[in-house]
Amino acid sequence: MDPSSTITLRWIYNGPGDISHHLARFRFARPTPVWQPAINAYRCHDCIRICVELAGIERADLELAVEPHRITIRGGRDVPEPSENKKPKTLHILVMEIDHGPFERTIQLRDEIDVQKARAEQENGLLWIYLPLKHER
Protein backbone atom coordinates (compact mmCIF):
# COMPACT_ATOMS: atom_id res chain seq x y z
CA MET A 1 0.00 0.00 0.00
CA ASP A 2 1.39 3.40 -0.97
CA PRO A 3 1.75 5.62 2.15
CA SER A 4 1.41 8.83 0.14
CA SER A 5 -0.19 11.72 2.00
CA THR A 6 -1.98 13.28 -0.97
CA ILE A 7 -5.06 12.57 -3.03
CA THR A 8 -5.23 13.29 -6.73
CA LEU A 9 -7.75 15.83 -8.00
CA ARG A 10 -9.00 15.97 -11.59
CA TRP A 11 -9.58 19.53 -12.83
CA ILE A 12 -12.11 20.03 -15.61
CA TYR A 13 -11.53 23.75 -16.16
CA ASN A 14 -8.61 26.08 -15.79
CA GLY A 15 -8.74 28.96 -13.36
CA PRO A 16 -10.91 32.07 -13.42
CA GLY A 17 -8.43 33.93 -15.65
CA ASP A 18 -8.88 31.44 -18.50
CA ILE A 19 -11.02 32.77 -21.37
CA SER A 20 -12.94 29.47 -21.68
CA HIS A 21 -13.98 29.88 -18.05
CA HIS A 22 -15.40 33.34 -18.79
CA LEU A 23 -17.11 32.20 -21.99
CA ALA A 24 -18.76 29.33 -20.12
CA ARG A 25 -20.00 31.74 -17.44
CA PHE A 26 -21.64 33.95 -20.09
CA ARG A 27 -23.27 30.99 -21.88
CA PHE A 28 -21.40 31.34 -25.19
CA ALA A 29 -19.81 27.95 -24.63
CA ARG A 30 -21.55 26.04 -21.85
CA PRO A 31 -20.38 22.46 -21.49
CA THR A 32 -22.05 20.40 -18.80
CA PRO A 33 -21.10 20.58 -15.97
CA VAL A 34 -20.29 24.27 -15.87
CA TRP A 35 -18.52 24.69 -12.58
CA GLN A 36 -16.79 22.87 -9.74
CA PRO A 37 -17.19 23.69 -6.07
CA ALA A 38 -14.01 24.54 -4.17
CA ILE A 39 -12.63 21.93 -1.78
CA ASN A 40 -10.09 21.57 1.00
CA ALA A 41 -8.66 18.09 1.65
CA TYR A 42 -6.97 17.04 4.89
CA ARG A 43 -5.16 13.84 5.83
CA CYS A 44 -5.53 12.93 9.48
CA HIS A 45 -3.98 9.98 11.33
CA ASP A 46 -6.85 7.61 10.54
CA CYS A 47 -8.86 9.33 7.80
CA ILE A 48 -9.05 11.80 4.96
CA ARG A 49 -11.51 14.68 5.36
CA ILE A 50 -12.77 16.69 2.44
CA CYS A 51 -14.59 19.99 2.87
CA VAL A 52 -16.69 21.15 -0.11
CA GLU A 53 -18.00 24.74 -0.34
CA LEU A 54 -21.70 24.49 -1.26
CA ALA A 55 -23.30 27.71 -0.01
CA GLY A 56 -26.94 28.08 -1.03
CA ILE A 57 -27.37 24.43 -2.04
CA GLU A 58 -30.01 22.35 -0.29
CA ARG A 59 -29.32 18.74 0.67
CA ALA A 60 -32.13 17.60 -1.66
CA ASP A 61 -30.28 19.20 -4.62
CA LEU A 62 -27.05 17.32 -3.89
CA GLU A 63 -25.86 13.90 -5.08
CA LEU A 64 -22.82 12.30 -3.46
CA ALA A 65 -21.44 9.03 -4.86
CA VAL A 66 -18.58 7.29 -3.02
CA GLU A 67 -17.00 4.57 -5.15
CA PRO A 68 -13.85 2.47 -4.61
CA HIS A 69 -11.51 4.92 -6.35
CA ARG A 70 -13.39 8.20 -6.47
CA ILE A 71 -15.99 10.51 -4.98
CA THR A 72 -18.34 12.42 -7.25
CA ILE A 73 -20.40 15.37 -6.05
CA ARG A 74 -23.19 16.65 -8.33
CA GLY A 75 -25.96 19.16 -8.02
CA GLY A 76 -27.09 22.58 -9.05
CA ARG A 77 -27.49 26.08 -7.71
CA ASP A 78 -29.91 28.76 -8.86
CA VAL A 79 -28.75 32.30 -9.47
CA PRO A 80 -28.90 34.08 -6.11
CA GLU A 81 -31.15 37.14 -6.39
CA PRO A 82 -32.76 39.52 -3.92
CA SER A 83 -35.95 38.14 -2.38
CA GLU A 84 -39.26 39.27 -3.89
CA ASN A 85 -40.14 41.61 -1.02
CA LYS A 86 -36.73 43.32 -1.25
CA LYS A 87 -36.33 43.22 -5.06
CA PRO A 88 -36.69 46.60 -6.77
CA LYS A 89 -39.03 46.91 -9.75
CA THR A 90 -36.07 47.20 -12.10
CA LEU A 91 -33.14 44.90 -11.37
CA HIS A 92 -29.81 45.61 -13.09
CA ILE A 93 -27.01 43.11 -12.59
CA LEU A 94 -23.75 44.94 -11.91
CA VAL A 95 -21.49 42.00 -11.09
CA MET A 96 -22.19 38.26 -11.20
CA GLU A 97 -19.32 36.19 -9.77
CA ILE A 98 -21.15 33.47 -7.83
CA ASP A 99 -21.20 30.25 -9.83
CA HIS A 100 -24.64 28.85 -10.63
CA GLY A 101 -26.23 26.09 -12.67
CA PRO A 102 -25.21 22.43 -12.65
CA PHE A 103 -21.92 21.40 -11.05
CA GLU A 104 -19.83 18.29 -10.68
CA ARG A 105 -16.61 17.59 -8.84
CA THR A 106 -14.77 14.27 -8.94
CA ILE A 107 -12.01 13.46 -6.47
CA GLN A 108 -9.81 10.45 -7.20
CA LEU A 109 -9.09 8.20 -4.21
CA ARG A 110 -6.33 5.77 -3.37
CA ASP A 111 -6.93 2.15 -2.37
CA GLU A 112 -6.29 3.03 1.27
CA ILE A 113 -9.82 4.47 1.72
CA ASP A 114 -12.51 2.29 3.33
CA VAL A 115 -15.46 3.47 1.21
CA GLN A 116 -17.93 1.29 3.14
CA LYS A 117 -17.44 3.48 6.23
CA ALA A 118 -17.51 6.86 4.44
CA ARG A 119 -19.97 9.44 5.73
CA ALA A 120 -20.87 13.06 5.03
CA GLU A 121 -22.65 15.93 6.74
CA GLN A 122 -23.66 19.37 5.57
CA GLU A 123 -23.45 22.39 7.85
CA ASN A 124 -23.30 26.16 7.27
CA GLY A 125 -22.85 25.85 3.51
CA LEU A 126 -20.06 23.27 3.79
CA LEU A 127 -20.21 19.56 2.98
CA TRP A 128 -17.79 17.53 5.12
CA ILE A 129 -16.90 14.08 3.78
CA TYR A 130 -15.21 11.68 6.21
CA LEU A 131 -13.18 8.88 4.57
CA PRO A 132 -11.64 6.41 7.04
CA LEU A 133 -8.38 4.75 6.05
CA LYS A 134 -8.19 0.96 5.83
CA HIS A 135 -6.21 -0.62 8.62
CA GLU A 136 -3.40 -2.93 7.56
CA ARG A 137 -3.49 -6.42 8.97
Residue ranges covered by each domain of the chain: 19-132
Question: What's the CATH number for 19-132?
Answer: 2.60.40.790
**Overall average pLDDT of the 26-35 stretch:** 59
Q: 3-state class of 45 per DSSP? A: coil
Q: pTM to 2 decimals?
A: 0.69
Q: What is the pLDDT of residues 100-120, one digit of tens each?
A: 999 999 999 887 888 889 999
How confident is the model at residue 34, as a pLDDT?
Answer: 78
How confident is the model at residue 39, as a pLDDT?
Answer: 97
Mean pLDDT taken over the chain: 78
Band the pLDDT of 80: cuts 50, 70, 90: confident
Report the distance separating Cα 113 and Cα 67, nearest Å.
10
Report the distance separating Cα 23 and Cα 17, nearest Å.
11
Report the distance separating Cα 8 and Cα 2, nearest Å.
13
